[in-house]
Amino acid sequence: MTSTSEPAQRVPAAPTAPAAVPGRAPVVRRRSGRLVAGVAGGIADHLGIDVLWVRGAFTLLAALSGAGVIAYVLCWVFIRQEPAEVVRHVSRRERQQALGLAALGLGLAIAGSALGGTVFGWIIGPLGVAAVGAAVVWREADESRRRRWTAGARAGVSGGGWKTIARVAAGVLFVAAGISVFLLGRVNLGQVQFTLLAVGATLIGVGVLTVPWWVRLMQELGEERRERIRVVERAEIAAHLHDSVLQTLALIQKQAEQPREVRRLARGQERELRGWLHGPTGYGARKQAGGTDGPAEPGTLAEAVTAAAAEVEDTYAVTVRPVVVGDCPLDEQLSALVAASREAMVNAAKHAGVTEVSLYVEVEADAVSVFVRDRGVGFEPDQVPADRHGLENSVHGRMARYGGSVKLRSASGEGTEVQLEMSRQPQKVRENGS
């Protein structure tokens, strides 16, 4: 249908009338360059078209039982004159043309009334109603809308192609048919279904005629909604930056003398912002998911391990850089693995004497491996003092209870690496793989 092709035709027309055009002047009657009362000239100025068209329209309307003459007189009465004299030159040819048109109009009016209203009545009635409606809409519309309408109308007439013409013709036909059938039916038959038919045809006609208007309405609604979403997003980002980043910067300025505290604050803020931007529950992720996601369940290994690393960072003011390859749902065994990893990180943070700890987690089909590494002082595993049971209990014991294994590599001065491995239950593998 034509309605589907409408946007493609109309959209390019709209941007051609941007704010560069000065505001449309209100309708005033011309003081100079007029022939009768300056009505036609004033309307032509307002619409930005040649005055000849307006005069022609009045002439044609005059043929319809003198409607043009009445309209002209009404305009004369109700439209005020322009406040100041503007010099306009009226050529001899234009004057002759206008006089001819005026005479023609008067003649047509007389002829029309002589023929009687029956023939023209069917046409004049609907046309009059349509004209009054159009005038009201024009009066109520704001400036930008008027500009778009005229641009659209020009495109429709000059460049719109046969589709526009066909649409307008079909609409007019439907309206005229509907109303004439309605009139005929009332006069001759008075049947109900006839009336319904007429009303239906009229409605279809009006619908077809107003297709561009509907399309434009939908576009404007969409544009408005997009703008609203943009405003909301901007507010959300501003709120977030204010709550987190600015607060942290203020704290950092206050504690500038304590490097350890500054590093802890900065690292914590960095992590938080990264999580918000790129994380699974953050700002970027929500946009991709369509904004309907609730708070994500902390149910995967990657999230749990990253959270544990963050906690160690916050507590011991070290930097832990987690690298996680693959992911899987968290079960009891893997929770134990995460707890053991956390203990290994705490050990590194407390005893290695370094500011950075590496954490690498790899999820494979049958097992999960965790490596916690530091480049600190290291130690000889055989010579651990008897009062230090952290590694023995929290790491070895925990892993052993769930069927995992621990390997420890360390030497004095060469750092420490704790390697944890936990096999995965077969059904979990299948579940993840499907």
Partner 1 sequence: MTEPSESPEPAEQDEATPIRVFLVDDHALFRSGVRAELDPGVADVTVVGEAGSVAEAVAGIRHLAPDVVLLDVHMPDGGGAEVLRQLRPELPDIVFLALSVSDAAEDVIAVIRAGARGYVTKTINGRELAEAVRRVRAGDAVFSPRLAGFVLDAFSDRPGAAPPVDPELDRLTPRERDVLRLLARGYAYKEIAAELFISVKTVETHVSSVLRKTQLSNRYELSRWASDRRLV
> Under the rule (CB under 8 A), what is the footprint of partner 1?
274, 278, 319, 321, 323-326, 358, 360, 362, 365, 371, 373, 375, 417, 432-434
Interior/surface letters 62-98, b for 16+ CB within 10 angstroms, e for the rest: bbbbbbbbebbeebeeebeebeeeeeeeeeeebeebb
Q: How far is the CB of 362 from partner 1 (least distance, A)?
A: 7
Residue whose CB is less far from partner 1, 211 or 363:
363
Residue whose CB is less far from partner 1, 55 or 373:
373
List the beta bridge partners of residue 190.
Answer: none
Residue whose CB is less far from partner 1, 303 or 417:
417
Report yes or no: 144 and 24 within 8 Å, Cβ to Cβ: no
Q: How far is the CB of 413 from partner 1 (least distance, A)?
A: 14
Q: How far is the CB of 409 from partner 1 (least distance, A)?
A: 10
Q: How far is the CB of 364 from partner 1 (least distance, A)?
A: 8
Q: Which run of H or E residues covers position 305?
A: helix 301-316
Residue whose CB is less far from partner 1, 161 or 413:
413
Please give the structure tokens belonging to residue 273.
Answer: 């912002």
Q: Which run of H or E residues covers position 363?
A: strand 356-363
Report yes or no: 352 and 396 within 8 Å, Cβ to Cβ: no
Residue whose CB is less far from partner 1, 66 or 404:
404
Q: How far is the CB of 293 from partner 1 (least distance, A)?
A: 19
List the beta bridge partners of residue 322.
Answer: 359
Residue 257 phi, psi dihedral angles, 5° rounding: -80, -10
Residue whose CB is less far from partner 1, 108 or 324:
324
Q: How far is the CB of 408 from partner 1 (least distance, A)?
A: 14
Strands 367-374 and 405-410: unpaired
Report yes or no: 401 and 363 within 8 Å, Cβ to Cβ: no
